[in-house]
Amino acid sequence: MATGNINVSVENIFPLIKKFLYSDHEIFLRELISNATDATLKLKHLTNIGEAKVEYGNPQIEVKVDKDGKKLHIIDQGLGMTAEEVEKYINQVAFSGAEEFLDKYKDSAKDSGIIGHFGLGFYSAFMVAEKVEIITKSFKDEPAAHWTCDGSPEFTLEAADKTDRGTEIILHIAEDSTEFLEESRIRELLNKYNKFMPVPIKFGTKEINDPEHEPATINDKDGKETKEPHKQITVDDIINNPNPAWTKQPTDLKDDDYKNFYRELYPMQFEEPLFNIHLNVDYPFNLTGILYFPKMGQDMNIQKDKIQLYQNQVFVTDNVEGIVPEFLTMLRGVIDSPDIPLNVSRSYLQADGAVKKISSYITRKVADKLKSLFNSNREDFEAKWNDIKVVIEYGMLSEEKFFEKADAFALYPTVDGSYYTYEELFNKIKANQTDKDDKLVILYASDKDAQHSYIESAKAKGYEVLLLDSPIVSHLIQKLETSKENISFARVDGDHIDNLIKKDENTISKLDDDQKKTLEELLKEVVPSDKFMVQLEAMDSEANPFIITQPEFMRRMKEMQATGGGGMFGMGNMPEMYNLVVNTNNALVSDILSTEAKEDKERLINQGLDLARLSQGLLKGEELTNFIKRSYAMIK
């Protein structure tokens, strides 16, 4: 038996490892199973190229809990190690990494999660174990070795009587980590981190129906035919899927395969995804994965079920901000890349050059897939638009390259249910909706019911009205106005329709200057100046006498601030201000002027104003009650 000191000068290395490696000690199991997987896959490679003259077979990794003995076993059938290799890889290489780790991070390393970056994966075992044993037999024809360390720099290394190839790691679980002796806790961790590892992982056994035994038909005591019970057999409980959908070629998968994998990823999701995007690239980096578009609607809240990031089928994180473009964090699915470091902090990932390239690739791939879906089945794409538009519009706002590509598939729906691309919309409305200054005015509504009368006024002029009702629409139209030439968006209730798209023709007012002045004085006395700015307009005599609008700029800034941005304008604290447009050519306005009694004039103005407020949903509470009483009195 050999004894010795591990090649490290820091005497208190293990307490530091325990304290600094991870705030979450559960990660040790992922590390040890990742090592076991590497050892198994390396053996496969060596047998394939003829360097290992052994039968590869069907190796698996086994995890066993010995609660009474306070031990946890991780057993593989991989390469194994000779005593010499244990000395090299366990005692020297890993601890040179440990020294580097401590030198660099001893003051600031807590929670930094950088084990794997320094070759420290195996030593994560000491975060939960007071003693660790390695019993290992190499695929080479050499004796097995038994290494033991109790968390001090001292170790023992002796021959072992293990005869089968591979490595068994035995963790003597520490008193403060006994949760890892509970089978339910270990199963939870295996499901979290190792659900799709490429080598089968056995965790106990389970009873299943014997597939080779067909239950016979028998007669019960009353003579009725019945089936005898299924014969049960005991089999290994393999808790992972070593060949998940994303590791296969898209040509080998059907729609049902993608849907079944979605259910495997998110067992508590009962709604089918709308469609998926299969990622598969091997240059200039390696990346595979499947992204799913869930039904989004208007909901921009961060969902519980997120995109999962893997490295060679080992779960890394589901906190993918900075790795996946922000607008795609609303999607679900899996991304797997060996080029993403397994155990590094998110800030390190975000600064990593390979990760930035991956982010750009995913953006491009998603845009290409959306274009393909739009081109291959436009009708289906239009039907799904309301469920995917928030993701696409957010992408147009946040990623310039995505914005450029989105012209090919981003849709602009109208209040009548037609869908246009930007180019189609431009060509459709250019002749009719260009104003006297040669600017194209794109009209839109955000609520078909609330803005119905304004929509009808626009349609009477032959104008198209878009229905843009997502929560980020104000930001989006701002982006479009600055990116497209000589256009502006105007919400259909932002002003009288003739003011929204000003043409050369002027409507002559039926009132002379004196009458206008008298009318202004009357309105000033009745209309609250803290809420309304009055403007007299000569419009079509059939247009309403009183029309309430809200200035486009002010309303848009308030909306933008409500969804992030626009705060510099300080709109959030400003009172709601509206324009009251009074149509000087409407018969009611002439009636107000010709009415003798001042009280009757005021009553007509209030009634007209309240009707306009009612159409905008601005009449509430006591004012609404008074309006109803007054209206009934007028009917009498």
Residues annotated in the binding site for ATP, as ranges? 31, 35, 76, 81, 96-97, 167, 346
Q: Give the integer Cα–Cα distance in Å for 469 and 560.
A: 13
Burial of 134 (0-12, 13-18, 19+ CB in 10 A): buried
In DSSP terms, 290 is beta-bridged to 278, 334
Rounded-to-integer distance, Cα 632 and Cα 636, Å: 6
25: left (phi over 0), alpha (psi -120 to 50) or beta: alpha
Calculate the dihedral angle through the C-alpha atoms of 370, 374, 375, 377, rounding to the nearest 10 degrees.
130
CA distance linking residue 464 with residue 22, whole number of Å: 58
Query: Which segments are annotated as binding site?
Result: 31, 35, 76, 81, 96-97, 167, 346
Structure-derived torsion over alpha carbons of residues 432, 435, 441, 443, reported in degrees to the nearest 10? -60
Q: Single out the residue of 365, 370, 403, 367 nearest to residue 384, CA to CA.
A: 370
* Torsion, CA 260, CA 261, CA 264, CA 270, rounded to 10: -50
* Angle (CA) 141 142 145, round 5°: 140
555: Cβ contacts below 8 Å, ≥ 6 apart: 491, 494
| Cα–Cα distance for residue pair 71/130, rounded to 1 Å | 10
Sheet holding 532-537, edge to edge: 532-537, 578-583, 546-549
Q: Are 103 and 331 in contact (CB under 8 A)?
A: no
Q: What's the order of all strands across the beta sheet hosting 287-293? A: 275-281, 287-293, 332-336, 307-311, 314-317
- With H, G, I as helix, E, B as strand and everything else as coil, classify residue 316: strand
Q: Is 323 helix (H, G, I), strand (E, B) or coil?
A: coil
Pairing of strands 154-160, 144-149: antiparallel
Neighbour-count burial for 334-361, b at 16+ CB within 10 Å, e otherwise: bbbbbebbbbbeeeebeebebbeebbeb
Residue 185 exposed, middle or buried by CB count within 10 Å (0-12, 13-18, 19+) = middle
Cα 580 from Cα 526, distance rounded (Å): 12
The helix/strand/coil state of 290 is strand
Tell me if the bond preceding 211 is cis, omega within 30° of 0.
no
According to DSSP, residue 504 is labeled S
Compute CA distances 473 → 390, 479, 555, 615, 616, whole Å.
9, 10, 12, 23, 20
CA angle 569, 573, 578 (to 5 degrees): 85
Helices (H) and strands (E) in the chain, counts: 19, 24
Q: Which of 284, 250, 281, 245 is nearest to 264 (CA)?
A: 245
For residue 348, which amino acid is it? Answer: Y
Strand partners, 158: 146
